């Protein structure tokens, strides 16, 4: 790792799989940490084979979540494997796991055991639920989004709850965990000690849903699904407007601030309806909300005659918040996103050219080029030599015993 990166020299033992945990360690990798992905020799991270289209070839799902990591194999169910992992813990800064509840403790690496091995280790865990009646339950993204409230908020009042497209229950939890890890690293500079970090997926989704609790505070009732209109029920326009074209995503989302008339007046000028500035039906956020059907009609007349890009550019240039509804292919092909490495292409030994989203946090003095995900056990030789001074002959012996 280049020494100019923010987390250069930070060693992470990554026992994560699927998405929530791997999102955390990938974020740390993109900040410059050395992520050692410790995997079972028999197939490794279950995400490698999840949703793959080619038997024996890592899935795009795995590749998107494990960029910039190094992979070693180690069977923690063997006594020798546990001995090797114990030695690695003595040199690690961080250990992160998201196994099913109770698994890591059964392997002998619960927090108390690890803290005794190395008091400086920051020990991070991601689980589905926190202490309480559900704490031993297994969870995935859609479970966390259900139990955390986001499904109840997504859709229209007439529809059943809908799972949001983004996996905020998984990746969102991983990013919450990364924040905790970074804070613990800072605190360790003062105390010299590591600590335990626990993030529940349900809790992370609740945190993402804070504005819904604002609506509950206003009404005294549970927040309801509001479709594409303002979640607080106080803003117009706040919605999706059809644009010129016949694609499923030919829409633009338009929003004006509920804090005053500044955006609304700009909007009227941009669509050629200056005559409505000061109109009593629309001259306050409250009145615009009361007449939101008429607001929608006015805007739809404008948007239907223009493409979503034209609408976004016209309103954006006028200082009005507006966003075209871009699909994943449009984003992948966006030159501006490519230029700032938000969309990057890497060379994979089995998949060839592979395109994935990069890291959105841009730092002036810390830059990590996005690298491909590792093959299973690809870095056994170099990592075991660096960490434990093991030779190729040592590794052959361990391999013959199914330890690596």
62: how many CB neighbours lie within 10 A of its CB?
25
Q: Is position 397 annotated as part of the catalytic site? A: no
Q: Which long-range contacts does 216-223 make (Cβ < 8 Å, 24+ apart)?
A: 222/152, 223/152, 223/153
pLDDT tens-digit readout, 284-328: 999 999 999 999 999 999 999 999 999 999 999 999 999 999 999
State the DSSP code for 358: -
Active-site hit among 58, 141, 170, 265: 170
> What pLDDT, on the 0 to 100 scale, is given for residue 260?
86
| Phi, psi dihedrals of residue 128, rounded to the nearest 5° | -70, -40
> What pLDDT, on the 0 to 100 scale, is given for residue 3?
53
Q: Using CB atoms within 10 A of its CB, is residue 317 exposed (0-12), middle (13-18) or buried (19+)? A: exposed
| Phi, psi dihedrals of residue 356, rounded to the nearest 5° | -150, 160
- Who's near 56: CB < 8 A, 6+ residues apart? none
Half-sphere exposure of 351 (CA within 13 A, CB side): 26
> What pLDDT, on the 0 to 100 scale, is given for residue 371?
97
Q: Is residue 230 within 8 Å of residue 288, measured between CB atoms?
A: no
Q: Is residue 163 within 8 Å of residue 154, measured between CB atoms?
A: yes
DSSP code string of 147-197: HTTHHHHSS-TTSPP---SS-TTTHHHHHHHHHHHHHHHHHHHHHS---EE
> What pLDDT, on the 0 to 100 scale, is given for residue 232?
67
Counting as low any pLDDT under 50, the low residues of the chain are 1-2
Instruction: State both tokens at 395.
Output: 């590794």
DSSP code string of 232-294: TS--SSEEEEE-SSSSTT-EEEEE--TT-SHHHHHHHHHTT-GGGTT-TTTSSHHHHHHTHHH
CA distance 204 to 241: 31
> What pLDDT, on the 0 to 100 scale, is given for residue 1?
42
Q: Is residue 294 within 8 Å of residue 280, measured between CB atoms?
A: no
pLDDT tens-digit readout, 346-367: 999 999 999 999 999 999 999 9
> What pLDDT, on the 0 to 100 scale, is given for residue 2?
43
Q: Is residue 171 within 8 Å of residue 140, measured between CB atoms?
A: no
Buried b (16+ CB within 10 A) or exposed e, 222-243: ebbbbeebbbbbebbbbbbbeb
326: how many CB neighbours lie within 10 A of its CB?
16
pTM for the model: 0.95
Q: Mind listing the domains of the chain with CATH numbers? A: 11-207+336-400 (3.40.50.10540), 238-242+251-324 (3.30.1540.10)
Instruction: State both tokens at 250.
Output: 């030919």
- CA angle at residue 99 from 96 to 101, to 5 degrees? 115
């Amino acid at each position: 790792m280049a020494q100019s990166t923010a987390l250069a020299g930070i060693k992470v033992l990554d026992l994560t799989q699927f998405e929530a945990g791997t999102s955390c360690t990938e974020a740390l990798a993109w900040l410059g940490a050395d992520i050692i992905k410790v995997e079972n020799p028999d197939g490794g991270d279950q995400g490698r084979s999840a949703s793959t289209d080619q038997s024996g070839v890592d899935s795009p799902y795995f590749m998107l979540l494990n960029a910039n990591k190094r992979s070693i194999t180690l069977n923690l169910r063997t006594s020798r494997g546990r001995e090797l992992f114990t030695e690695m813990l003595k040199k690690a800064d961080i250990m992160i796991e998201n196994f099913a509840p109770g698994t890591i403790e059964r392997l002998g690496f619960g927090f108390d055991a690890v803290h005794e091995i190395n008091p400086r280790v920051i020990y991070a865990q991601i689980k589905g639920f926190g202490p309480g009646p559900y704490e031993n339950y297994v969870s995935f993204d859609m479970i966390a989004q259900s139990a955390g409230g986001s499904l109840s908020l997504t859709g229209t009042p007439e529809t059943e709850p809908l799972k949001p497209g983004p996996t905020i229950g998984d990746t969102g939890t991983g990013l919450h965990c990364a924040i905790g890890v970074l804070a613990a690293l800072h605190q360790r500079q003062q105390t010299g000690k590591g600590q335990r970090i626990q993030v529940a997926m349900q809790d992370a989704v609740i945190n993402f849903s804070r504005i819904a609790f604002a609506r509950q505070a206003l009404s005294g009732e549970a927040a309801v699904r509001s479709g594409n209109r303002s979640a607080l029920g106080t803003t117009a326009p706040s919605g999706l407007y059809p644009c010129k074209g016949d694609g499923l995503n030919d829409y633009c989302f338009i929003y004006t601030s509920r804090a005053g008339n500044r955006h609304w007046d700009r909007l009227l000028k941009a669509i050629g309806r200056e005559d409505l500035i000061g109109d009593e039906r629309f001259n306050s956020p409250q009145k615009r909300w009361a007449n939101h059907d008429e607001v929608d009609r006015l805007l739809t007349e404008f948007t239907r005659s223009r493409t979503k890009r034209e609408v976004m550019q016209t309103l954006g240039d006028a200082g009005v918040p507006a966003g075209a509804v871009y699909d994943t292919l449009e984003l992948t092909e966006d030159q501006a996103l490519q230029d700032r490495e938000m969309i990057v292409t890497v060379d994979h030994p089995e998949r060839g050219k592979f395109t994935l989203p990069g890291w959105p946090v841009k730092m002036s003095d810390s830059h990590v080029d996005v690298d491909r995900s590792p093959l299973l056990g690809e870095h056994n030789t170099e990592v075991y030599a660096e960490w434990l001074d093991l030779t190729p002959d040592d590794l052959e012996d361990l391999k013959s015993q199914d330890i690596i």
